[in-house]
């Protein structure tokens, strides 16, 4: 699946870009399945907003329950001061997560595509297991910024071995909020940990290393066409900007770890009922 040069790039840079790996028909299936979920969503019953501007202080039971479910999360700017939607639901959703691969047939079929397991094995996995999936909308005009972060902050295992696979369902560019990464940044320390006190059902994001986040000069924009897969290390700093354009930037993300890894009891993501999803 991966060439020797691509494996080398991943080891050296912390990520590798695989242009147009996924055919349009498969992308269209995910987009249609996601919109069907949104059309069933009742914003009057649940209005959980997803934002990274509050250092994750706003995570609630709906967010924790999404580890084994399929929940819709709203954009901050989709609600007015009284909590009412100011745009149609299809244009209000920030993301859907986080067990799409377990519970939605179209996503389950997509994640079973052999290429994903093959590329993880090329990176050294013996038995990769899929832990979470998300459909991210990055809505026109209101798609919120996602601040610099490292996935190992939120997916804590020992030894650290989470790999992310970010799939562009639509063209991604600077104007509509493409990914930005720090090449080689996976060698920098883990800066933060998000851990949950399950007795109080409260999560806390704490700083564990004061290393600064990348400067503008250290960051690279990943402007990619639809169907591209970006594979990245769990310590790689990455972010995405606000979408100021008139076009959306739909993406699907998958996070996998080695089977049998020690998964922290303080992780927000727990899957006691769903079990393993082997790739």
Q: Per-residue pLDDT tens for 72-110? A: 999 988 888 877 888 998 999 999 999 999 999 999 999
pLDDT, mean over the chain:
94
Cβ atoms of 224 and 202 within 8 Å: the answer is no
Query: Does the reported pTM lie above 0.85?
Result: yes
Q: Over 70: is that where the pLDDT of 243 sits?
A: yes
Q: What is the structure's pLDDT at 53?
A: 61
pLDDT in tens, 144-198: 999 999 999 999 999 999 999 999 999 999 999 999 999 999 999 999 999 999 9
Cα-based distances in Å from 278 to 191, 195, 206: 30, 25, 31
Q: What is the structure's pLDDT at 58?
A: 64
Cα end-to-end distance, the chain, whole Å: 14
Mean pLDDT of 36-64: 78
* CA-based nearest residue to 206, from 69, 56, 26, 72: 56
Q: What is the structure's pLDDT at 109?
A: 98
Q: Over 90: is that where the pLDDT of 200 sits?
A: yes
Q: What is the structure's pLDDT at 111?
A: 98
State percent of the chain over pLDDT 90. Answer: 87
Q: What is the structure's pLDDT at 56?
A: 67
Torsion angles phi and psi, residue 242, rounded to 5: -60, 145
Query: How far apart, in whole angstroms, are the C-alpha atoms of residue 257 and residue 69?
Result: 19
CATH class label, 4-263: mainly beta
Mean pLDDT of 64-74: 94
Q: What is the structure's pLDDT at 2?
A: 97
Domain boundaries, the chain: 4-263
Cβ atoms of 29 and 23 within 8 Å: the answer is no
Q: What is the structure's pLDDT at 85?
A: 86
Mean pLDDT of 106-128: 98
């Amino acid at each position: 699946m991966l060439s020797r040069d691509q494996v080398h790039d991943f080891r050296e840079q912390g990520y590798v870009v695989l242009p147009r790996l996924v055919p349009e028909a498969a992308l269209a299936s995910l987009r249609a399945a996601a919109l069907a979920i949104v059309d069933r969503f009742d914003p009057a019953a649940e209005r959980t907003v997803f934002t990274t501007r509050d250092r994750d202080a706003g995570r609630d039971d709906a967010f924790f329950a999404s580890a084994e479910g399929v929940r819709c999360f709203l954009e901050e700017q989709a609600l007015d001061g009284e909590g009412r939607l100011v745009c149609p639901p299809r244009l209000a959703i920030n993301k859907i997560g986080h067990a799409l691969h377990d519970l939605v047939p179209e996503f389950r079929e997509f994640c079973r595509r052999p290429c994903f397991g093959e590329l993880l094995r090329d990176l050294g996995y013996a038995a990769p297991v899929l832990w979470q999936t998300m459909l991210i909308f990055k809505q026109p005009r209101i798609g919120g910024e996602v601040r610099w972060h490292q996935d190992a902050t939120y997916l804590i295992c020992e030894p650290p071995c989470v790999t992310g696979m970010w799939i562009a369902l639509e063209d991604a560019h600077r104007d509509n909020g493409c990914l930005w990464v720090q090449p080689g940044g996976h060698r920098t320390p883990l800066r933060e940990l998000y851990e949950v006190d399950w007795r109080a059902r409260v999560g806390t994001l704490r700083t564990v290393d004061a290393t600064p986040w990348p400067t503008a000069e250290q960051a690279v924009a990943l402007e990619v066409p639809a169907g591209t897969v970006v594979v990245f290390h769990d310590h790689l700093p990455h972010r995405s900007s606000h979408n100021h354009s008139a076009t959306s930037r739909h993406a699907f993300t998958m996070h996998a770890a080695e089977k049998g890894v020690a998964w922290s009891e303080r992780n927000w993501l727990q899957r006691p009922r769903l079990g393993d999803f082997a790739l």
